[in-house]
Amino acid sequence: MTDPAPRRRGRPSRTEEESGPGARTRILEAARAQFAERGYDKASVRGIAKAAGVDPALVHHYFGTKDEVFAAAIEVSFEPAAVLPAILGGPREAIGERLARFFIGVWENPASRAPLLAIVRSALTHEAAAKVLRTFVLRRLLERIAAELDVPDPGFRAELAASHMIGIVIMRYVIQVEPLASADPERIVEQVAPTLQRYLTEG
């Protein structure tokens, strides 16, 4: 008996362009847009694949499940791998200021703000999205920051710093409470930096 010919499932054939290195970036951009527009629960791998012009199997191939696409879409919004070493590795006495300026900068940029807003909203209303953010925040971000700190309870301290930044995001960009909603970003950095500095460096 010979192997049966591979079945075609009615998928479009993959061209070089479709499955090439550009496809991964297109999928991530489509995922950011879909999660931003539709929220976590209504976005789908199928919809993301369609928007990126690729087969859904390619989305699974690159990222795995919908949750993993979601995590990757969060990560691409502020690229912690590229930025954290510079924030954590610079002069210790200005770590609070660097972190505050970076964080506010990401949120002041409309291109990164829209998908991040969608993520925050999704995480606050859907346990599955909360779990992705929790795992993501905990594993990839807070633990990495905590590993660089020389204070008691570094994980707890890193999370207090993160909680302040998340609260500012909620008040300024989501609920939009004045005067914070219209405040100059530099004034926020100036006030928040000493708080982050204390959490991250003072025993």
89 is a contact residue toward a second copy (CB under 8 A): no
Based on CB atoms, which residue is closest to a second copy, 55 or 159?
159
E strands, the chain, in order: none
- Contacting residue, 53, 65, 176, 186, with a second copy by CB under 8 A: 176
The angle subtended at Cα 20 by Cα 18 and Cα 26, nearest 5°, is 65
**Least distance between a second copy and beta carbon 201 (Å):** 13
* Tokens coding 48: 């993301």
Cα gap 100→186, rounded to integer Å: 10
| Residue from 27, 99, 104, 142 in contact with a second copy (CB under 8 A) | 142
Residues 32, 77 contacting (CB under 8 angstroms): yes
Q: Which of 146, 191, 143, 144 lies closest to 165 in space, CA to CA?
A: 191
Considering the complex, what minimum distance in angstroms separates the CB of residue 61 from a second copy? 29
Separation of alpha carbons 65 and 54, rounded Å: 16
Is residue 143 near a second copy by the rule CB under 8 A?
A: no
121: three-class secondary structure by DSSP: helix
Region near a second copy per CB under 8 A, out of 46-54, 71-79, 89-97, 158-166: 158-166
Under rule CB under 8 A, residue 178 binds a second copy? yes
The 10 Å Cβ neighbour count of residue 23 is 21
Q: State the nearest-atom distance from the C-beta of 37 to a second copy, in Å.
A: 14
| Binding footprint of a second copy on the chain (CB under 8 A) | 120-121, 123-125, 130, 133-134, 137-138, 142, 153, 155-157, 159-160, 162-168, 170-172, 174-180, 183, 187-188, 191-192, 194-195, 198-199
